[in-house]
Amino acid sequence: MDKLIIKGGNRLSGTIPVSGAKNAALTLIPCALLTEEPLTLRNLPRLADIDGFQHLMGQFGVSVSIQGNNRPEDFGRIVTYQAARVTSTVAPYDLVRKMRASILVLGPMLARMGEATVSMPGGCAIGNRPIDLHLKALEAFGAEIELAAGYVKATAPKGGLPGGDFDFPVVSVGATENALMAAVLANGTSRLFNAAREPEIVDLCNLLVAMGAEIEGIGTSDLTIHGVKRLHGATYRVMPDRIEAGSYACAAAITGGEVRLEGASAHDMASTLHALQSIGLHIEEDAKGVTVKSNGVLKPTDLTTAPFPGLATDMQAQLMSLLCKAEGTSVLKETIFENRFMHVPELARMGADISTEGRTAIVKGPVHLTGAEVMATDLRASMSLIIAALAAEGETTVRRIYHLDRGYERLEEKLQLLGADIERVDD
């Protein structure tokens, strides 16, 4: 198993390209199940989760072909998916258990084939993430749901889903995505109230519209979907990854550096940029990207995660590492997941002064961070350790980095472009 060796102290400076968004790509890929025609996705990041999802698509008989200039040294890929004939409607445990996003095949498979059997999903152990809202939304559209032996079996009435209305009691990104993909081929009109508004939801809606779907209210919490008889193929570019961009901004900031995030969308990552500004960073935005500058002086702040347009929970761990160097006490409140402070004990091994109570973390700074052997517990926690290591004195070893490979495209190479002393080695 690989590990990362990081020697801290280098000021990061330079330009890096922002990859296609993992969280968007994992929602766009299953859209291929909605049509017999080819779906081509551009700017698809090279990630373990993407590879895993492609294996799952192959289980259904979907052909996957990599096109164009796809040299190993390039970032991103162009991939075409075609579900000309769906050969299976079962997503087995072995392919689903490592990746929570696998549940997103449920809606499109049900819409097109009239049935789907999907193993209960896995993913990062960051707290309870039930799929009850996914199932309740599908039931509202006319599906019959059965749970047995660790699998979800969804069945549509003969002739297809009739469609319906569903009001989310709490905002759910994944359930909104599944419901959208199910509703686009329903026989009638469906309405989603209190739907998630994340940029990745907008990206999904834009792709579905490009495929022939009829969706009103894109970008709002109330969506109206007029079901159509069929969808056609499309070529679509995956949106830039706002979490990756924010992570590298934190990495540069903790070293007193400056980074140009080429291709980043300031609109999509507005809450992160606002948080960084409150910490004392200077932000410059233009049509082609975002530049983040630090003068080395970081201010404490209070931050609370919330559904979009609030601060993304996926940025909490990275910002926590950055605030370890702020001159004062900061308070972070996690409102999305109840178990997302698992990185705190590992940061403490490096000298961080962080106390937690329930879903609140109190970060006291500035502290003198020192290199240590640490272990990643989930995807974003892994990045928080990398960020701390870049500012630490001495050498840090980060183990279990397979988490990072799920969500950061060739992380060490991008950090090396900025001047970081980081190396991947066999453990």
Q: Which residues does the annotation mark as catalytic?
A: 124
Establish whether 206 is an annotated binding residue: no
CB 427 within 8 A of CB 373: no
CA distances from 18 to 132, 218, 411 (A): 34, 24, 11
Establish whether 229 is an annotated binding residue: no
Establish whether 10 is an annotated binding residue: no
CB 393 within 8 A of CB 367: no
Half-sphere exposure of 282 (CA within 13 A, CB side): 8
Establish whether 197 is an annotated binding residue: no
CB 340 within 8 A of CB 316: yes
Residue 282: both structure tokens together? 């200077």
CA distance 183 to 213: 9
Establish whether 138 is an annotated binding residue: no
Establish whether 129 is an annotated binding residue: yes
Establish whether 237 is an annotated binding residue: no
Task: Calculate the dihedral angle through the C-alpha atoms of 162, 166, 172, 178, rounding to the nearest 10 degrees.
Answer: 0
CA distance 160 to 141: 10
CA distance 367 to 322: 11
Burial 329-368 (b: 16+ CB within 10 A, else e): ebebebebbeebbbbbebbebbbbebeeeebebebbbbbe
CA distance 250 to 314: 13
CB 65 within 8 A of CB 79: yes
Establish whether 336 is an annotated binding residue: yes
Establish whether 130 is an annotated binding residue: yes
CB 323 within 8 A of CB 365: yes
Establish whether 243 is an annotated binding residue: no
Peptide bond preceding 309 in cis form (omega within 30 of 0): yes
CB 367 within 8 A of CB 299: no
Angle at 305 between CA 129 and CA 328, to 5 degrees: 135
CA distances from 317 to 135, 306, 407 (A): 30, 14, 14
Q: Residues within the annotated binding site?
A: 22-23, 100, 129-133, 314, 336
Q: Residues within the annotated binding site for UDP-N-acetyl-alpha-D-glucosamine?
A: 100, 129-133, 314, 336
Q: Residues within the annotated binding site for phosphoenolpyruvate?
A: 22-23
